[in-house]
Amino acid sequence: MRSPFRPLTVPDPGILDDHRPLLRRIERRGFLRGGLSLGALTMLTGCDVSDSSAVGRALRAVSDLDDGVQAALFDPLKLAPEYPASMVLKPPRFNAYYDVEEVKPVDGDAWRLELGGLIADKRPWTRRQIAELPERETIIRHVCVEGWDYIGQWSGVPLRTFLERVGADLTAKYVAFKTADDYPSSIDMASALHPQTLLATRYAGESLPDPYGYPLRLRTAVKLGFKNPKWITTIEVTNTYPGGYWESRGFNWFSGL
Half-sphere exposure of 44 (CA within 13 A, CB side): 19
DSSP H helices, the chain, are: 20-28, 38-45, 52-73, 127-131, 159-165, 189-192
Pairing assessment for the beta strands 114-117 and 232-238 based on DSSP bridges:
parallel
Phi first, then psi, for residue 201 (nearest 5°) are: -125, -10
Question: What CATH number has the domain bearing residue 108?
Answer: 3.90.420.10
102 domain-assigned: yes
pLDDT in tens, the chain (257 residues): 434 333 434 444 454 455 555 555 555 544 444 444 444 444 444 554 444 555 455 555 555 555 666 677 778 889 999 999 999 999 999 999 999 999 999 999 999 999 999 999 999 999 999 999 999 999 999 999 889 999 999 999 999 999 999 999 999 999 999 999 999 999 999 999 999 999 999 999 999 999 999 999 999 999 999 999 999 999 999 999 999 999 998 888 999 98
Distance CA 147, CA 126 (A): 36
Neighbours of 6 (CB within 10 A): 7
Q: How far apart are CA 155 and CA 158, in angstroms?
A: 9
| 138 lies in the same domain as 224 | yes
- Calpha distance 114→236 (Å, rounded): 8
pLDDT of residue 9: 43
Same-domain check for residues 172 and 241? yes
240 located within any domain: yes
Q: Which residue range(s) make up the domain with 42? A: 13-73
User: Would you say 232 and 219 are in contact if contact means Cβ atoms under 8 Å apart?
Assistant: no
> Is residue 79 assigned to a domain?
no
Residue 28 falls inside a structural domain = yes
Residues 227, 105 within the same domain: yes
**Number of domains the chain contains:** 2
**Same domain, yes or no: 60 and 170:** no
Cβ contacts of 192 within 8 Å, gap of 6 or more:
159, 160, 163, 175
Same domain, 69 and 91: no
Residue 68 sits in the same domain as residue 171: no
Same domain membership, residue 168 and residue 236: yes
Query: Does a structural domain hold residue 8?
Result: no
- Pairing verdict, β 136-143 and 149-158: antiparallel
| Residue 2 counted as domain residue | no
Point out the domain boundary residue: 46, 73, 100. Answer: 73
Assess if residue 5 is contained within a domain: no
Q: Let me know whether 57 and 107 are in one domain.
A: no
d(CA 214, CA 231): 6
Is residue 226 packed enough to be buried (19+ CB in 10 Å), middle (13-18) or exposed (0-12)? buried
**Contact predicate 229/113, CB 8 Å:** no
Q: What is the pLDDT of residue 32?
A: 42
Residue 44: the pLDDT is: 43
Domain match, 33 and 92 both: no
Residues 141, 45 within the same domain: no
DSSP 174-225: EEEEEETTS--EEEEHHHHTSTTEEEEEEETTEEPPGGGTTT-EEEETTB-G
Identify whether 133 is part of a domain: yes
Q: Give the C-alpha separation, 98 to 142, whole Å.
A: 19
213: left (phi over 0), alpha (psi -120 to 50) or beta: left
Residues 128 and 226 in one domain: yes
106 in Cβ contact with 127 (< 8 Å): no
- What CA–CA distances, in Å, run from 130 to 32, 108, 202, 213, 216? 42, 12, 12, 15, 9
Amino acid of residue 26? I
Say whether both 31 and 142 belong to one domain. Answer: no
Domain boundary pick from 5, 39, 73: 73
